[in-house]
Amino acid sequence: MDPTIFLKFLLFNLAPSILKTNDSSTPIPSILRLKEFDDGLKLRHLLVVIYNALVERHCIGFHENPEDKVFERKIIHFVSSGNQNIWEINDGIWVNEMS
């Protein structure tokens, strides 16, 4: 997929209201100047989503047990959100899975 089209797809999904006035032919700089992206929170979320996808692609290897892969993905998502460190996440996930 063309990176420009992919980025537009992500932007349209983060702020569906922009579809009323813009379409796939609108340049990305014009989309990013819209009021929906003024606060920067949606762009930060977009960067986290892209970062997660790239990290998962390179960090998740082959596992005999498919649950191990899910566990690694959970850790990557929690760490990238910046809310907890890896040890707090590990303790929390094991507690949740055992209960």
pLDDT at 99: 44
CB atoms within 10 A of CB 8: 20
Residue 7 neighbours by CB under 8 Å, 6+ apart:
28
Each residue of 67-89: pLDDT tens digit? 777 777 777 666 666 666 667 76
DSSP state of 38: S
Spatial distance between the Cα atoms of 59 and 25, rounded to a whole number of angstroms? 35
pLDDT at 94: 58
Spatial distance between the Cα atoms of 11 and 31, rounded to a whole number of angstroms? 8
Structural tokens at position 92:
């929390």
pLDDT at 40: 80
| pLDDT(31) > 80 | yes
| pLDDT(42) > 70 | yes
For the chain, domain boundaries: 3-95
CB atoms within 10 A of CB 77: 15
